């Protein structure tokens, strides 16, 4: 899918054909072979610039940031997080490659899966403060939002962890452990993705022919700060989840022990009328069996014994 945008008075417009002299942005999601061929021929792009994102394991990298020919298109591949569902049905985050391609008068963003921050730009361009007047500024801003998306998703993981903690006293199944495992897998992916994105940013900072305007250093510093924040949050959250995983296992085991203790106590109480009924059900002479109200007295004695047993167990914390 190809989406075309340009800058107008009210932000991003989906009608760049009405402004042929203005720079514009093409957002490409899950490109088909025909779309790849079209863009490759139209902008004289190497096909691997567009097909790189089709490989979910593609690593972050940059190309042509210091070319001998300044008209060569620039490629920047970053990793970005996306909320998915695991095979077991639990929410977790995957990381996928996201390509930014800088061509004369055009910037292309290419992904194999919809990126939430791109949709935010389209739905509310004013709040995103994006401008296509300078494509290098635009690319650096997109990179900031990519790094910021890690921080946003880490906040979501922390909130979900707090929700698990609030229900921990009732946990008796392994559901909580599977959820924590899904979050821990997400954090491992985050850590690897952030480590891959850092060299790409370093290559941009060291580029001689691109991203060397006076304001670009400030933008790069903002991206660095966001990356550092995301990295620190990932490390801290991972340590918390490791400790929390052990705690959840202990709590689940303790809750199951409480359930078993209750069921054992209940079995002991129900054993009293079973024993008395079995004894007085035998066809032999027993004390009190000849009384007119024998059943009433036997039932009353059984109830009293059960009450005494309940109180005893309760005083010894078995109920």
Regarding whether 87 and 138 lie in a shared domain, the answer is: yes
C-alpha atoms less than 13 angstroms from C-alpha of 143 in its C-beta half-sphere: 35
Residue by residue, pLDDT tens for the chain (319 residues) are 787 777 666 555 555 555 555 667 888 888 889 888 888 888 888 888 888 888 888 888 888 776 666 667 888 899 999 888 877 777 888 899 999 888 877 888 888 888 887 777 666 655 555 666 777 788 888 888 888 889 999 998 888 888 777 766 665 566 777 787 888 888 899 999 999 888 888 888 877 777 777 777 888 888 888 889 999 989 888 888 877 776 666 776 776 777 787 888 888 888 888 887 777 777 667 776 666 677 777 788 888 888 888 888 777 776 6
Contact 64, 207 (CB under 8 A): no
**The domain containing residue 232 runs over which residues?**
2-159+172-252
Distances (CA, A) of 134 to 55, 138, 289, 318: 30, 6, 102, 72
281 and 177, same domain (yes or no): no
Both 25 and 153 in one domain: the answer is yes
Q: Which residue has tokens 């229900």?
A: 167
* 38 & 178 share domain: yes
In this structure, the answer to whether residues 185 and 273 fall within a common structural domain is no
Domain boundary, last residue among 252, 271, 298: 252
Would you say residue 165 lies in a domain?
A: no
Looking at residue 93, what is its pLDDT? 87
- Same structural domain for residues 281 and 203? no
Residue 226 located in a structural domain = yes
Tell me: do 74 and 220 sit in the same domain: yes
DSSP 202-249: HHHHT-SSSS-STTHHHHHHHHHHHHHHHHHHHHHHHHHHHHHHHHHH
Output the six-digit token pair for 291. Answer: 């009384």
Q: How many domains would you assign to the chain?
A: 2
Question: Is residue 126, in this structure, part of any structural domain at all?
Answer: yes
Both structure tokens of 177 = 């452990």
The pLDDT, as a whole number, for residue 174 is: 67
């Amino acid at each position: 899918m190809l989406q075309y945008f340009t800058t107008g008075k009210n932000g991003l417009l989906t009608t760049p054909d009405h402004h042929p002299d203005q720079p514009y942005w093409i957002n490409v999601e899950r490109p088909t072979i025909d779309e790849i061929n079209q863009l490759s021929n139209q902008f004289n792009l190497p096909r691997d610039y567009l097909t790189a994102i089709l490989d979910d394991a593609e690593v972050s990298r940059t190309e042509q940031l210091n070319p001998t020919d300044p008209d060569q298109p620039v490629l920047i591949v970053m990793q970005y997080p996306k909320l998915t569902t695991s095979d077991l049905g639990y929410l977790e985050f995957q990381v996928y490659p996201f390509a930014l391609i800088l061509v004369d008068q055009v910037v292309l963003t290419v992904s194999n899966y919809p990126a939430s921050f791109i949709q935010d730009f389209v739905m509310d361009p004013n709040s995103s403060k994006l401008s296509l007047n300078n494509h290098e500024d635009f690319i650096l801003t997109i990179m900031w939002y990519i790094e910021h998306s890690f921080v946003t998703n880490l906040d979501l993981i922390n909130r979900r962890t707090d929700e698990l903690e609030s229900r921990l006293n009732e946990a008796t199944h392994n559901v909580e452990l599977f959820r924590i495992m899904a979050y821990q897998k997400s954090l491992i992916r985050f850590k690897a993705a952030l480590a891959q994105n850092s060299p790409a940013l370093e290559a941009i900072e060291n580029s001689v022919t691109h991203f060397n305007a006076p304001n670009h250093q400030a933008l790069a510093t903002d991206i660095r700060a966001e990356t550092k924040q995301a990295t620190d949050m990932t490390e801290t959250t991972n340590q918390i989840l490791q400790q929390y995983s052990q705690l959840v296992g202990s709590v689940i085991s303790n809750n199951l022990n409480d359930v078993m203790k209750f069921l054992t106590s209940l079995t002991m109480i129900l054993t009293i009328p079973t024993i008395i009924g079995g004894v007085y059900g035998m066809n032999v002479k027993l004390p009190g069996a000849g009384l007119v109200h024998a059943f009433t007295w036997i039932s009353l004695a059984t109830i009293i014994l059960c009450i005494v047993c309940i109180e005893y167990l309760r005083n010894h914390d078995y109920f």
